[in-house]
Amino acid sequence: MNKPLSKQLFFTLIILAFLSGCSGPATVQIPTAAPALPSATSIPLPTPTTAPALPTATSISVPTATTAPALPTATSIPLPTATTAPALPTATSISVPTATTAPAKSTATSIPLPSPTTAATATSSTTASAPRGQIVFWDNHGASNYKQIYIEQADGSNVRLLVKPDYGDDSPSLSPDGRTVVFSRYHSADINMIFVVNVDGTHLHQLNAAGCVKPCLIMGVEGHPWSPDGKQIVYNRAVADASGQCCVEVAWWVMKADGSGAHRLWVTSDATDDHYVEWSPDGKRFVFTRIDQTTSPVRSALFTMATDGSDLKQITPWELNAADQAWSPDGTLIVFQSPTEPNQGGGVQNIYTIHPDGTGLIQLTKYTSADGSSQGTFGADWSPDGSQIVFSHFPSMNGSDDLFVMNRDGSGLHLLAHTDFNENNPDWGRSPTP
């Protein structure tokens, strides 16, 4: 039965093939034997085990966080920093006067210093550095009827009487080493003397000024009379007339610090009167106040000259009435008051500086008197390092004279420390050296 069926099937297929060639694909009946076509197993498809042969993420050069810095960072971009800010217009374009711009003018009238009322109430300054050294001054306001000399720390503390007030003592000046003080003593109307005392009040003794006896008259020391090396003292003395009255001759002399070796420097004329003679820091010149007696009222100016008496030079105009000067430790400036007395300037004095050649005049303080009352500003001196200036001013608290301190350009003006004394003509020196 099987064989006949196979033949029948064979012929059937032939007939179907013949019919397919005649009728086209639309009439063909696809046999169920189509699976005889190649199966998927004969197609070499990749199996899951071959998939890793494709490139993986590890072979792709994807930048990681470690490669990010290769891009330009903020440090490579020239962004403006705080150091470049000054390239923009700064406050210097605003016409606010500063201490550095003040010297461009003939006076420091553009410096906005505190008025007398604010200065007198100030107790400290954030701009002024801490003062060092010691200050001596004289007072005429105490219980004694005599002028008295006091010494204090440069910050105004530890004020103490230096010498027992049995006589009129004034014009104290500290030696360059800070160990002794020279001063004038007025024993009576016609007896003046020069004394020296240690800063602790011991070893008080008189300098005999090379045996000056009548008709020789000691006029005393003034201002800052020590030579820079502390070995000599300059002083004023005169020769009395036959009646014992002053004076046939008034002259400036110099002696050794022990009173020996005195010799005359120069004689003042009838027309002029010289005061506050002081050495330059290098010891080569003197600076002093000269008063012209030929005018009414009298007038004053600052002069310098070589220590041998030659090369006299006037450094301030007569109209300024400059007086009571002090040379800065570095030799570049001279500080002084103007006018000589308050009643010469409409009741007001102020402090100025000038170069030793007469250039660069600057007004440091700006005291005024709206009601015409007297404003005394006088006796200026330098700190040992030359960075600050001390001076006396009245009226201060309780109507007395107090000491004020400012920087050398006039800034940082403040009351040193209020006392019950009239603190006159301060002399600022260094602390004692061993």
Q: What is the pLDDT of residues 42-98, one digit of tens each?
A: 434 344 344 344 344 343 343 343 433 333 333 333 433 333 333 333 333 323 233
pLDDT at 137: 96
Whether 381 and 326 have beta carbons less than 8 Å apart is answered as yes
Where do the structural domains in the chain lie, given as residue ranges?
Answer: 113-429
pLDDT at 405: 97
Token representation of residue 282: 């290098």
pLDDT at 62: 33
Low-confidence ranges of the chain (pLDDT < 50): 1-5, 7, 10, 12, 14-128
Using CB atoms within 10 Å of the CB of residue 374, give its burial: 0 to 12 exposed, 13 to 18 middle, 19+ buried: middle
SS3 state of residue 176: coil
Sign of CA dihedral 368, 273, 302, 335: negative
Q: pLDDT of 33-49, one tens digit each?
A: 434 434 434 434 344 34
DSSP letter, residue 366: -
Stated pTM of the model: 0.70
pLDDT at 368: 87
Closest residue by Cα to residue 394 from 161, 134, 137, 169? 137
Q: Domain 113-429: which CATH class? A: mainly beta
Whether 397 and 352 have beta carbons less than 8 Å apart is answered as no
DSSP letter, residue 46: P
Token representation of residue 405: 């301190």
